[in-house]
């Protein structure tokens, strides 16, 4: 039982990183990126292909996918998000959903419908922390995810571009007035958020089995975390991630396997109905 | 004035002609072509039904839930000897009932929250059908016993689905021109303002949601009885939810003719891709249609033809004009 709880917390850290990419795009640009999950799946599939072709360790792909997805983020911002950013939220919502399905069908066309998983020599190794056995892989990924989240905090709070991002998220008009180049900030935000998504996708591909529609699951899990923490709140993300990780692993003891993925949806729907702005979010009229 | 009358007369005559041609199509067509028409008519119908709740500005990404509920209800009823028409209607009613129950809490949500909520809802219903395998057959699916559907040909199914889609379109048109449609448009423009001038927003939204789910449920029921085999991954697939959004958006949300044209065009194209290339490309087509429309023509196809006559466009670029 304690081992289950600990493993839940560990996967929660990876979930938190997963949700971070979504929350930054929403927080700064007010775009709800429904193409989020398929992007995560895409990163996973790229990792799978390179690992099985070149026989390299998937850990090497973490920075590589980060850079690759940074470029993809800039490209997507310039071609897709920039023209619609001033339009209504429904337009951007439907646009990102379309983007998601383009990615999903490309995955189907390129990789086929088979289940794929990435195996490393240390995939099934476990270590003992204070007398409790936990998965070695999950521990490493948790620490890495934690490191990246802390890094993002530092970028947001200590660097010039990070402060500009915060300014845009707090008051876009005000940010424009004080002379912030909003376009450049948005471009950077999208790039860095996609980079985080790419890294998170690479991580999650080492833990779970990939299939083409797995992206929907990631979108919903990320949203679940975001509504738990409050859409647009960076502080709530790790808490939301760990709550979801715990809920999933604890429910796996009591409920049949089929329900495992349903837990995230149930939490999502319940939180939306009880407290639509989440537990850490700003009350906002959407 | 005279010109307007003449115009509307020509338009009316043209409509009747189109209807006649549509009903006469099966006399001269191969069964295989007919089956493509039947499938695309189903999806077109879902797109028009989707747009009924779309009128209020709420974007549902979970219409596959209502489609699937209708499909399973009619399947279970038919397997127990209920006749086709009753199975269709009860399928729709169960869907509508479900929509009314979940609508009370869900319709309070707005914008992205409603969209994500419905997406989650469809997934919960999907999991429920897997769990309730005693009645639904679980992941293996549900096949209709052969004795139930024997003697029904493509001609029968084509005529039936064409009639259903025409009825769905007429209901959409009728809603646009009643108090319900006006209320929905007011909610679309500004929900708080509508509420503050005395529009009972939740009542009208619930009504639209229920009607939309009822019609989607009937179409799902037809889909099940026509294919005689359904599985959860089939009726709850994202190509239903996403297809409906893609078609309505491509044609033009908030108009009767928009989803109809968008639906016919996209679903025919996707059915042709499905049968001649691969079903993977139909999802790609929906994605590209959505992204392309949102980037270049947010009002949909309809905004080209009616662009000059409809001056009432809001800043979102969604066509407010509900005239056909």
**Nearest-CA distance from B110 to chain A in Å?**
6
Those of residues 183-242 in A touching chain B at CB distance below 8 A are 213, 216, 219-220, 223, 227, 231
Does B295 contact A261 at a Cβ distance shorter than 8 Å?
A: no
B134 interfacial to chain A (CB closer than 8 Å)? no
Structure tokens of A246?
């715990």
B42 contacts B222 by C-beta, under 8 angstroms: yes
B31 interfacial to chain A (CB closer than 8 Å)? no
Quote the percentage of chain A above a pLDDT of 70. 94
Q: Kindly list the residues from chain A whose CB atom is less than 8 angstroms away from the CB atom of residue B313.
A: none
A99 contacts B291 by C-beta, under 8 angstroms: yes
Looking at mean pLDDT, say which of A110-114, A280-284, B148-152 comes out highest. A110-114
B262 pLDDT higher than 60: yes
For residue B317, the model assigns a pLDDT of 44
Q: What is the ipTM of this complex?
A: 0.81
A140-175 per-position pLDDT tens digit: 888 899 899 889 888 888 888 888 888 888 888 888
**Nearest-CA distance from B125 to chain A in Å?**
10
Q: What whole-number distance in Å separates Cα of residue B147 and Cα of residue B143?
A: 12
B126 contacts B241 by C-beta, under 8 angstroms: no
Q: What whole-number distance in Å separates Cα of residue A223 and Cα of residue A221?
A: 5
Does B287 contact A258 at a Cβ distance shorter than 8 Å?
A: no
pLDDT band at B221 (very low <50, low <70, confident <90, very high): very high
In this complex, the residue of A98, A269, A286 whose CB is nearest that of residue B120 is A269
Q: What whole-number distance in Å separates Cα of residue B255 and Cα of residue B187?
A: 16
In sequence order, the β-bridge partners of residue B143 are B229
Does A99 contact B287 at a Cβ distance shorter than 8 Å?
A: yes
The per-residue pLDDT of chain B, averaged, comes to 84
Question: What number is the average pLDDT over the span A260-278?
Answer: 75
User: Would you call A115 helix, strand, or coil by DSSP?
Assistant: coil
**Nearest-CA distance from A201 to chain B in Å?**
21
For residue B6, the model assigns a pLDDT of 66
For residue B110, give the nearest of B36, B37, B195 by alpha carbon.
Answer: B195
For residue B96, the model assigns a pLDDT of 96
Q: Looking at chain B, which residue has its C-alpha nearest residue A230?
A: B113
B51-108 per-position pLDDT tens digit: 999 888 888 988 999 999 999 999 999 888 888 889 999 999 999 999 999 998 888 8
Task: Report the phi/psi class of residue A30: left, alpha or beta, with left for phi > 0 and alpha for psi in -120 to 50.
Answer: left
For residue A73, the model assigns a pLDDT of 93
Structure tokens of B149?
């559907």
Least confident of A3-7, B147-151, B201-205: B147-151
Is the model more confident about B4 or about A194?
A194
A116 contacts A208 by C-beta, under 8 angstroms: no
For residue A276, the model assigns a pLDDT of 61
Q: Looking at chain B, which residue has its C-alpha nearest residue A83?
A: B295
For residue B320, the model assigns a pLDDT of 42
Structure tokens of A226?
């975001």
**Nearest-CA distance from A3 to chain B in Å?**
27
Does B318 contact A90 at a Cβ distance shorter than 8 Å?
A: yes
For residue A286, the model assigns a pLDDT of 38
The per-residue pLDDT of chain A, averaged, comes to 84
- Going by their DSSP bridges, the two strands B229-230 and A126-129 should be labelled as unpaired
Q: What whole-number distance in Å separates Cα of residue B242 and Cα of residue B47?
A: 10
Judging by beta carbons within 10 Å of its beta carbon (0-12, 13-18, 19+), is residue B97 exposed, middle or buried?
middle
A104 interfacial to chain B (CB closer than 8 Å)? yes
In this complex, the residue of A102, A227, A231 whose CB is nearest that of residue B291 is A102
Query: How many Cβ pairs within 8 Å bridge chains A and B?
Result: 140
For residue A198, the model assigns a pLDDT of 93
Q: Looking at chain A, which residue has its C-alpha nearest residue B317?
A: A87
A222 contacts A18 by C-beta, under 8 angstroms: yes
Judging by beta carbons within 10 Å of its beta carbon (0-12, 13-18, 19+), is residue A85 exposed, middle or buried?
middle
B206 pLDDT higher than 60: yes
Q: What whole-number distance in Å separates Cα of residue B308 and Cα of residue B318?
A: 14
The pTM of this model reads 0.85
pLDDT band at B132 (very low <50, low <70, confident <90, very high): confident
Angle at the Cα of B45 from the Cα atoms of B41 and B47, rounded to 5 degrees: 115
**Nearest-CA distance from A107 to chain B in Å?**
9
Q: Kindly list the residues from chain B whose CB atom is less than 8 angstroms away from the CB atom of residue A268.
A: 116-117, 120
Least confident of A3-17, A220-234, B98-112: A220-234
Does B290 contact A97 at a Cβ distance shorter than 8 Å?
A: yes
For residue B323, the model assigns a pLDDT of 35
Q: What whole-number distance in Å separates Cα of residue B245 and Cα of residue B142?
A: 27
**Nearest-CA distance from B76 to chain A in Å?**
23
Is the model more confident about A269 or about A186?
A186
For residue A134, give the nearest of A286, A285, A4, A224 by alpha carbon.
Answer: A4
B312 pLDDT higher than 50: no
Does B117 contact A88 at a Cβ distance shorter than 8 Å?
A: no
pLDDT band at B324 (very low <50, low <70, confident <90, very high): very low
For residue B46, the model assigns a pLDDT of 94
For residue A282, the model assigns a pLDDT of 53
Least confident of A37-46, A272-281, B17-26, B270-279: A272-281
User: Would you call A129 helix, strand, or coil by DSSP?
Assistant: strand
A279 interfacial to chain B (CB closer than 8 Å)? no
Listed in sequence order, the residues at least 6 apart from A282 whose beta carbon sits closer than 8 Å to its beta carbon are A230, A232, A233
Structure tokens of A152?
């993002």
Question: What number is the average pLDDT over the span A50-70?
Answer: 87
Listed in sequence order, the residues at least 6 apart from B86 whose beta carbon sits closer than 8 Å to its beta carbon are B77
A279 pLDDT higher than 80: no
Those of residues 121-180 in A touching chain B at CB distance below 8 A are none
**Nearest-CA distance from B154 to chain A in Å?**
31
**Residue for token pair 């191969």:** B30
Q: Kindly list the residues from chain B whose CB atom is less than 8 angstroms away from the CB atom of residue A256.
A: 131
A231 pLDDT higher than 70: no
Q: What whole-number distance in Å separates Cα of residue B52 and Cα of residue B171?
A: 9
B4 pLDDT higher than 60: no
């Amino acid at each position: 039982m304690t081992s289950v709880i600990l493993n839940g917390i560990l996967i929660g850290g990876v979930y938190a990183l997963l949700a971070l990419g979504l929350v930054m795009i929403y927080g700064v640009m007010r775009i709800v990126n429904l193409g989020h999950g398929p992007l995560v799946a895409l990163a996973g599939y790229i990792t799978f292909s390179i690992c099985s072709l070149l026989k390299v360790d998937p850990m090497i792909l973490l920075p590589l996918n980060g850079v690759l997805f940074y470029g993809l983020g800039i490209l997507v911002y310039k071609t897709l998000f920039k023209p619609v950013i001033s339009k209504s939220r429904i337009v951007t919502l439907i646009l990102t959903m379309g983007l998601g399905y383009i990615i999903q069908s490309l995955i189907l066309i390129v990789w086929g419908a088979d289940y794929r998983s990435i195996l490393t020599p240390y995939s099934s190794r476990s270590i003992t922390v204070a007398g409790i056995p936990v998965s070695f892989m999950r521990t490493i990924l948790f620490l890495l995810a934690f490191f990246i989240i802390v890094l993002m905090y530092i970028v947001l709070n200590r660097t010039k571009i990070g402060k500009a991002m915060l300014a845009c998220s707090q008051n876009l008009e005000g940010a424009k007035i004080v002379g912030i180049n909003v376009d450049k900030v948005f471009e950077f935000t999208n790039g860095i958020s996609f980079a985080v998504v790419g890294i998170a996708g690479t991580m999650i591909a080492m833990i779970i089995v990939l299939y083409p529609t797995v992206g929907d699951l990631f979108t919903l899990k990320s949203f679940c975390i975001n509504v738990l923490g409050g859409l647009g709140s960076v502080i709530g993300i790790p808490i939301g991630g760990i709550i979801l990780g715990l809920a999933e692993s604890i429910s796996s003891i009591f409920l049949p396997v089929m329900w495992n993925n349903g837990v995230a949806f149930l939490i999502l729907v319940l939180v939306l109905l009880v407290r639509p702005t989440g537990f850490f979010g700003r009350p906002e009229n959407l | 004035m005279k010109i307007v009358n003449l115009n509307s007369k020509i338009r009316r005559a043209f409509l009747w002609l189109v209807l006649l041609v549509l009903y006469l199509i099966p006399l001269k067509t191969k069964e295989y072509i007919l089956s493509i028409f039947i499938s695309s008519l189903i999806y077109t119908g879902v797109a028009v039904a989707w747009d009924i709740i779309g009128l209020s500005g709420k974007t549902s990404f979970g219409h596959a839930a209502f489609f699937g509920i209708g499909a399973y209800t009619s399947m279970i009823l038919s397997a127990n000897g209920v006749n086709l028409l009753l199975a269709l209607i009860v399928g729709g009613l169960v869907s509508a009932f479900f929509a009314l129950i979940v609508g009370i809490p869900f319709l309070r949500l707005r914008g992205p929250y409603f969209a994500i909520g419905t997406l989650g809802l469809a997934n919960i219903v999907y999991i429920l059908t897997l769990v309730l395998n005693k009645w639904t057959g679980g992941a293996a699916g549900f096949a209709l016993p052969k004795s139930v559907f024997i003697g029904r040909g493509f001609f029968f199914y084509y005529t039936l689905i064409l009639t259903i889609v025409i009825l769905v379109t007429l209901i959409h048109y009728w809603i646009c021109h009643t108090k319900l449609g006006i209320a929905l448009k007011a909610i679309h423009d500004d929900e708080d303002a509508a509420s503050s001038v005395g529009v009972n927003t939740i009542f009208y939204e619930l009504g639209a949601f229920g009607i939309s789910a009822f019609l989607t449920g009937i179409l799902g029921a037809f889909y099940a009885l026509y294919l005689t085999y359904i599985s959860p991954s089939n009726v709850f697939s994202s190509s239903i939810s996403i297809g409906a959004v893609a078609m309505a958006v491509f044609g033009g949300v908030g108009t009767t003719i928009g989803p109809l044209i968008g639906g016919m065009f996209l679903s025919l194209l996707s059915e042709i891709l499905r049968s001649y290339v691969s079903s993977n490309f139909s999802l790609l087509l929906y994605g590209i249609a959505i992204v392309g429309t949102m980037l270049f023509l947010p009002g949909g196809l309809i905004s080209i033809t009616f662009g000059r006559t409809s001056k009432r466009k809001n800043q979102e670029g969604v066509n407010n004009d509900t005239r056909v």
